[in-house]
């Protein structure tokens, strides 16, 4: 019985090892991460309550199918000021050259009353400025 148990563990260990070493080329590798300008911003309510949640949607244009949204750099300049920069990834996979617009969002949940200012990077030294009053 003990030898059967040992053999089972050896077979299980080998199957895990062989599975984890499988060379699978069905994925694309991210080659680079770069800023992507935010073309427009949609804020549904410019006034909201403290501790409530609001989604702020941003829209960016991507130049090919090899590019897509990677994430935000969300910088607190002060308690009520934020700078938001979007980043795109570029993969090494086959690309379609079709331009498309992608939508993404930030969930904003203010912790205190105030007039919050958001600046969204829209290329070079340009920013889209939005204000939300929190009561």
Could you tell me if residue 52 is inside a domain? yes
- pLDDT given for residue 13 in this prediction: 53
Could you tell me if residue 39 is inside a domain? yes
Residues near 66 by Cβ (< 8 Å), separated by ≥ 6?
Answer: 28, 90, 91, 92, 93, 94, 95
Residues of the chain with pLDDT under 70: 1-26
What radius of gyration, in Å, describes the C-alpha atoms of the chain? 23
The total number of structural domains that make up the chain: 1
- pLDDT given for residue 10 in this prediction: 53
Q: Are 33 and 95 in contact (CB under 8 A)?
A: no
Domain that holds residue 75: 27-134
- pLDDT given for residue 95 in this prediction: 83
- pLDDT given for residue 46 in this prediction: 96
- pLDDT given for residue 27 in this prediction: 73
The C-alpha atoms of residue 123 and residue 120 are separated, in whole angstroms, by 9
Q: And the tokens for 34?
A: 């770069």
- pLDDT given for residue 65 in this prediction: 84
pTM for this predicted structure:
0.77
The C-alpha atoms of residue 30 and residue 16 are separated, in whole angstroms, by 27
């Amino acid at each position: 019985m003990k030898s059967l148990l040992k053999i089972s563990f050896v077979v299980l260990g080998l199957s895990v090892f062989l599975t984890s070493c499988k060379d699978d080329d069905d994925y694309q590798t991210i080659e680079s991460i770069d800023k992507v300008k935010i073309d427009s911003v949609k804020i549904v309510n410019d006034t909201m309550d403290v501790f409530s949640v609001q989604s702020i949607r941003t829209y960016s244009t991507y130049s090919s199918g090899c590019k897509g949204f990677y994430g935000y750099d969300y910088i607190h300049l002060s308690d009520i000021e934020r700078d938001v920069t979007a980043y795109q990834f570029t993969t090494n996979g086959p690309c379609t050259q079709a331009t498309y617009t992608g939508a993404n969002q930030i969930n904003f949940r203010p912790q205190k009353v105030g007039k919050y200012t958001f600046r969204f990077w829209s290329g070079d030294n340009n920013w889209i400025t939005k204000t939300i009053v929190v009561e």
